[in-house]
């Protein structure tokens, strides 16, 4: 995360939280979380106006997907009962996973008043707090890009030094933190019914995109009334691709601002930071995901920068970087990153107006 991005987010956070609190706080309780799926038109966990700032408790699934009580699971890694979040215990005992659902625990849905199909929801990441000073990287046979590499399950608990902002991977390795939410989503089209939280889609979901940290904006196409936003799957840090099937999975509390763009249609999720535009492609076929990301880039440059298709294609070859954001959750995510510094003039990002 760049210094400019952090400064911009901090400045806006100070503005919108001038009263000392967000507009609303959504706790993670058995009544406000879903386990392993996303669906449209569920009863709202919270309803807010466009521009509202919401602090959301998100709970990691690590320690809850075994048959053990989470206290017993974490005790095996030296975590005391007092370090285990109370909501981990209540969700473990009070929430059931439907048949066919995945592992992630999602908080929501949050309805945004006035949102409807054909709009775009911008989710501004103002802040992300750590709820615990430890996380888990969990892998093993059948997981990740190299599913045959390991013969036994491997769950590694990793302590977090919050003061120094590093993950303590080992005595010799410290990884700078870059917290972000692995899942941010609106509800999918009703024709899809209940969808697993594992594969990402046009609605967002399990994108595991490390650029969605503090100071970023995620743009999602709206499919249903109220947009119906969910988040979960907190990550302390992760490399592109999430290659062993996991990040440092951790419980986080993001503070998000919901900005509604009426009548603005997009096909797939987009990301903006202080330094870059990112366009995405999503497909089970990596080559197809790459083509989609590039087509999204050409379309963006034509619409937003008034370029011809030929110039947009040429610029993409000269100045745009492709990366694999997600390589392990059925649907691959490829991103195309356009550096803002190549444009002599650029539209303002996160202006001083809070748009509340």
State the DSSP string of 286-320. HHHHHHHHHHHHHHHHHHHH---HHHHHHHHHHHP
Q: What is the pLDDT of residues 308-336, one digit of tens each?
A: 999 999 999 999 999 999 999 999 999 99
Per-domain residue ranges of the chain = 3-132+175-262, 275-342
Q: What is the pLDDT of residue 133?
A: 98
Confidence of residue 204 (pLDDT cuts 50, 70, 90): very high
Q: What is the pLDDT of residue 219?
A: 98
Domain 275-342 has CATH 3.60.15.10: no
CATH architecture assigned to 3-132+175-262: Sandwich (2.60)
Q: What is the pLDDT of residue 347?
A: 76
Domain 3-132+175-262 and domain 275-342 have a common topology: no
Confidence of residue 202 (pLDDT cuts 50, 70, 90): very high
Alpha helices in the chain (DSSP H): 3-16, 70-75, 86-94, 286-305, 309-319
Q: What is the pLDDT of residue 354?
A: 46
With beta carbons less than 8 A apart as the criterion, state whether 36 and 101 touch.
yes
Q: What is the pLDDT of residue 5?
A: 52
Separation between Cα atoms, residue 31 and residue 112, nearest integer Å: 19
The model carries a pTM of: 0.94
Examine the pLDDT at 3 and tell me if it is beyond 60. Answer: no
Q: What is the pLDDT of residue 346?
A: 75
Confidence of residue 178 (pLDDT cuts 50, 70, 90): very high
With beta carbons less than 8 A apart as the criterion, state whether 126 and 257 touch.
yes
The overall average pLDDT reported for the chain is: 93
Q: What is the pLDDT of residues 50-108, one digit of tens each?
A: 999 999 999 999 999 866 789 999 999 999 999 999 999 999 999 999 988 999 999 99
With beta carbons less than 8 A apart as the criterion, state whether 316 and 301 touch.
yes
Confidence of residue 19 (pLDDT cuts 50, 70, 90): low
């Amino acid at each position: 995360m760049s210094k400019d991005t952090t400064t911009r987010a901090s400045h806006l956070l100070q503005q919108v939280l001038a009263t000392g609190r967000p507009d609303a706080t959504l706790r993670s309780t058995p009544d406000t979380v879903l386990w392993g799926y996303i669906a449209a038109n569920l009863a709202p966990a919270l309803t807010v106006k466009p521009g509202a700032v919401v602090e959301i408790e998100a709970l990691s699934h690590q320690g809850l997907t075994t048959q053990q009580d989470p206290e017993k699971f974490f005790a095996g890694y030296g975590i005391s009962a007092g370090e285990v979040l109370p909501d981990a215990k209540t969700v473990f005992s009070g929430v059931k996973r439907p048949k066919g659902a995945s592992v992630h625990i999602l908080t929501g849905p949050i309805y945004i008043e006035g949102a409807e199909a054909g709009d775009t929801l911008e989710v501004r990441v103002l802040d992300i707090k750590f709820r615990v000073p430890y996380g888990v990287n969990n892998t093993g046979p059948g997981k990740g890009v190299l599913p045959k590499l390991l013969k036994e399950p491997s769950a590694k608990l990793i302590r977090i030094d919050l003061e120094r902002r590093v993950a303590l991977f080992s005595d010799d390795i410290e990884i700078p933190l870059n917290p972000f939410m692995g899942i941010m989503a609106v509800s999918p089209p009703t024709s899809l019914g209940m969808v697993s939280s594992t594969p990402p889609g046009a609605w967002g979901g399990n994108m595991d995109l490390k650029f969605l940290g503090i100071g970023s904006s995620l743009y999602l196409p709206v499919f249903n009334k109220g947009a119906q936003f969910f988040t979960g799957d907190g990550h302390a840090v992760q490399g592109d691709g999430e290659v062993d099937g996991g990040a440092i999975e951790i419980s986080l509390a993001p503070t998000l601002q919901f900005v509604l763009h009426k009548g603005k249609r997009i096909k797939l999720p987009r990301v903006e930071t202080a330094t870059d535009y990112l366009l995405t492609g999503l497909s089970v076929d990596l080559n197809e995901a790459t083509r989609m990301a590039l087509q999204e880039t050409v379309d963006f440059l034509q619409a937003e920068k008034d370029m011809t298709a030929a110039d947009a294609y040429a610029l993409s070859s000269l100045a745009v970087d492709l990366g694999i954001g997600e390589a392990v959750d059925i649907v691959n995510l490829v991103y195309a990153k356009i550096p803002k510094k190549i444009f002599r003039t650029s539209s303002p990002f996160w202006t001083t107006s809070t748009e509340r």
